[in-house]
Chain A
Amino acid sequence: MEIRLEHVSSFDQISSLQDISEEFSANKVYGIIGKSGSGKSHFGKILAGRQPLQQGQIYYDNLLIQPISNHEQYLEIQKKVGYVAEDLDFIMATVFEELAKKIKEQHYRESELEKRVFDALKMVGLSHTFIDRNPRTLSTGEQRKLALAKALICNPKVVVLDEPSFGFDPFEQKKLIKLVRMLKTRYHKIVIIISNDLDFLLPVVDQILVMEDGKVKMNQTKYQVLKATRKLKNMGIQVPKMIEFSDIVLKKKKIKMGYRDQMNDLIKDIYRYAEWGCHNQHHDN
């Protein structure tokens, strides 16, 4: 399974994408980052068929999925791609109907309906006691889980999530990280996450695309992208505090401590470099 974009351009009032050619492959999780207005949400919408292209093509394997020319093709995209938008919108009166509607659109058998609804709720960790609740009375975090259940209910090959961690406390965030990892390793999906929350992204993504002014400025492994700390900061992206700290040490004291994601490793580094001063740094460069 693979997604291929060929010279894609797309624009509306607020954002645009200009001549984008990229590939995404299965068993990988991708992060798309960039400042507000850089086009990252727009990217998610074209992958999910929610926004038209002005130029170029998008293929899933060898199947042309954008530009969309008829309703069958549209339904096919809806089946292949599970999408959670940043701004959620629920139209049905209950959680159950909201999920059932999505299944009915894809002409699944009535007998499967209930099982699929409960499986989807279980997968995202939303209690079955919610089924009769009005989606609009749920909390922000619960609404995001419902949208996620709706995106996964037809078992899509590709999952596109726009700011999935909004409204999640640290505990829920950890569960979401586990779920995304499972989508990759057990279900072999392509997962694309649009978010500037690096604390959430770094534990799950393999590859990061950096967007600026409607273009993909970088498409690298997460470790390579993290080396461009200054650049990320200038784009207004909050780098993890651990990295911000190392960056200040480098800038002010010219000491290179490298990338750390464990507090204890950082402490060891500080202890080492504080004791021996700057003399040691050449060994580590």
Chain B
Amino acid sequence: MSRIGVFICHCGENISRTVDVERVAAEVGKLPGVAFATDYKYMCSDPGQGLLKKAIREERLSHVVVAACSPRMHEKTFRKAVESAGLNPFLCEMANIREHCSWVHQDRKEATVKAIELVGMMVERVKKNRVLPTITVPVTKRALVIGGGIAGIQAALDIADAGYEVILVEREPSIGGHMAQLSETFPTLDCSQCIMTPKMVDVANHPRIRLYTYAEIERVEGYIGNFQVTVRRKARSVIEEKCTGCGVCMEKCPVKKIPNKFDQNLGMRPAIYVPFPQAVPNTPVIDRENCIKFKTGKCGVCRKVCGPGAVDYEQEDRLIVEPVGAIVVATGFDLYSIEEKPKGSPIKGYGEFGHGRIPDVIDGMTFERLASASGPTGGKILRPSDGREPKQIVFIQCVGSRAREKGISYCSKICCMYTAKHTMLYHHKVHDGQAYVFFMDARTPGKNYDEFWRRSIEEEEAVYIRGMVSRLYQKGDKIVVMGSDIAVGVQVEIEADMVVLATAVQPQKGADALAQKLGISYDKYNFYSEAHAKLRPVECATAGIYLAGACQGPKDIPDTVSQASAAAAKVIILFARDQLEREPIVARVREAGCVGCFYCKKVCPYGAVEEKEIRDRQGNLVKVVAYVNPGVCGGCGTCQATCPSKSVELDGYTDEQIVAMIEAL
């Protein structure tokens, strides 16, 4: 006969306000098998847990039901407490009388009756719980970092410095990401290249970092501690081991006028190229779409001039399988454009700003390339249309961001600060020019941030005008900006030479496809979701996968670096153990009943079902049955629902238990 203890929590007033907890305790105490029932104000608190442990010992309890909040919140807490009192933790179950009862009901009487039934069901279920031993799985102490921007670089360096091997995968030919494109960085105005390139070199030289550039994630299998990642190394057409980075191929390439994406298409590059001179690795890549050799079969100049013979036109994509224990996702961001979007897209463009057809209306990143010493203009701020220096320049904040009508309602977080920085860079470079900024709010939380913004106004003489711009149009060689100053309450018109739009930060294109490969969740904008917004901000809900940087949400460099180091710390914590303990809530196959149809294998999202041969003593094959690998099983129960012969069951959720719960009603 079981001796079940039931512990009912008031949750402060959250539960006791609507549910008569004392009555629940009294009623539940009468149920067969219940040896002890009590209530307490905060069951999860130290005295609450003490009460539970004491009762287990003194009342010699065999099972425990805690009626409180959702098991998502405190199941672990109570199972730990039960374990420390000497019971198997899986003999403890939770009845959710907060989210499922007190929070959703108003009538005290009815809610109390419902709470009694919820607890009664759990009592019946827990009676049939088995003692489950903890499952341990080995940990592969190598990490995969996806994305070679500042987030990926920082995470890779931190993990590698802790002594573990890291595989860093970058989609572009060079690491560096967006930070390598920036001119100077707020709030200290240090040159981005100067602080970025040494870190890039550190990555390249680190003995424990293996760098795959021009590569993408093809497939991810496995689970925490034991992932198998397939990386597609795209054909570079240049053999990295042979190339010395002399650059003769780029000089001799006859195709020279291809817009360089790194320079926001303002500068030109050849068909065999490195995106920027400080690229890591300094190995060129052939852009097969624009290369004459690949288009017509003629040319082949680069192979002829290459001394070490590194150019290889026949190179093909290679697939490499890497076993890793943890994954850091740091795929970064992309910028919104005001261009017209395809019909049916949830995101819209700005017709009122000319849909990107006015040549001197540029975005913030283009301004960064113009202001950068290594940019296409050598750091001179010039108009893309005629190369003149703009004397009246207008910056517009919140373009795309905080614009529900355009499909994005979040704040992009970095624009206020980088626009303030832009006005300063402009003032430093064009002394007789005037900068205007149209803004709705200036959001500058951060160390030395507000001071920086105020400096752009008070010392660098930018004129900030509170109010959104309604329309932009070309008039001669000027762009007329129609806005309003809401502090004065008048319409404002400026004939500008150049307009810079602080466009919204969006996730990298293809972020959703990668998330599906990884099995992590993402929000409606395709930003990756953290496990808990406050308390687990760098972990995914999927164990063993961590987030760093702007792929999770708009972030500036200091925040990105902090999060990358935090993600690295999480990986290091994981690697500090040789074996992982995991929840033993897994499916088990009743081999006698299994007919080997393997429907379960087809539906299993974790790939945990294997085929197992059963042989007699003579070694003759009797039948093939399903076997669930307990290390891989995620405990979702899909196999149980699918099995036509009812031969697979999830521990703690067996048919017998579910039926018992229904019968208790």
Instruction: Report if A and B associate in a common complex.
Output: no
Interface residues of A (CB under 8 A from B): none
